[in-house]
Amino acid sequence: MAMHQRTFLRALPLVPPLLLAAVISTSAEPGAARPVALSGLRSWSSPASTRVVFDFSAHVTTVAPDSGLGREVVVSLPGESVTRGTNVPRSLDVRDGVVDSVSVELLEEGTRLHLWFKDSTQFKVFPLVSEGTSPYRLVVDVARQGAAAAEERRLSGIAASKKPERVRVVAFHAGHGGEDTGAKGPGRVLEKAVTLAVARALVDDLNAVPGIRAVLTRDGDYFIPLRERYRTAERMKADLFISIHANSSKRRGSGSGSEVYFLSLRGASDQADADLADRENAADLVGGVPAQAEDDLVNILYDVKRASALQQSQLLAESLLDHIASSRRLESRGVKQAGFVVLKSVEFPSVLVETAFINNPTEARLLKNPEFQEQMARQLTEGVRVYFQRAGIGLLSPDTPGSGSFR
Ligand SMILES: [Zn+2]
pLDDT in 10s for each residue of the chain, 407 residues? 333 333 333 333 333 433 445 555 444 444 445 789 999 999 999 999 999 999 999 999 899 999 999 999 999 998 778 899 999 999 999 999 999 999 999 888 889 999 999 999 999 999 988 877 788 999 999 999 999 999 999 999 999 999 999 999 999 999 999 999 999 999 899 999 999 999 999 999 999 999 999 999 999 999 999 999 999 999 999 999 999 999 998 877 788 999 999 999 887 878 888 888 888 888 888 887 766 655 555 566 778 888 899 999 999 999 999 998 777 788 999 999 999 999 999 999 999 999 999 999 999 999 999 999 999 999 999 999 999 999 999 887 555 544 445 54
Residue 27 phi, psi dihedral angles, 5° rounding: -70, 125
Note the residue count of the chain.
407
CA of 358 to the centre of ligand 1 (A): 10
For the chain, helix (H) and strand (E) counts, in that order, are 8, 19
The SS3 call for residue 26 is: coil
Task: Specify the pLDDT at position 17.
Answer: 36
Task: Specify the pLDDT at position 315.
Answer: 97
Nearest to 354 by CA among 204, 224, 183: 183
CA of 276 to the centre of ligand 1 (A): 8
CA of 191 to the centre of ligand 1 (A): 7
CA of 176 to the centre of ligand 1 (A): 6
Nearest to 215 by CA among 270, 262, 154: 154
Task: Specify the pLDDT at position 7.
Answer: 31
Q: Using only C-alpha atoms, what is the Rg of the chain?
A: 23
Please tell me the distance from the alpha carbon of residue 178 to that of residue 182, in angstroms, as a whole number: 10
CB 266 within 8 A of CB 381: no
Please tell me the distance from the alpha carbon of residue 251 to that of residue 298, in angstroms, as a whole number: 39
Q: What is the DSSP letter of 400?
A: -
CB 330 within 8 A of CB 363: yes
CA of 184 to the centre of ligand 1 (A): 10
CB 376 within 8 A of CB 355: yes
CA of 192 to the centre of ligand 1 (A): 8
Beta bridge partners of 50: 45, 142
Q: Which residues surround ligand 1, an ion (CB under 5 A)?
A: 175, 182, 245
Task: Specify the pLDDT at position 130.
Answer: 82
CA of 229 to the centre of ligand 1 (A): 14
Task: Specify the pLDDT at position 254.
Answer: 81
CA of 300 to the centre of ligand 1 (A): 32
CA of 224 to the centre of ligand 1 (A): 13
Residue 402 phi, psi dihedral angles, 5° rounding: 150, 175
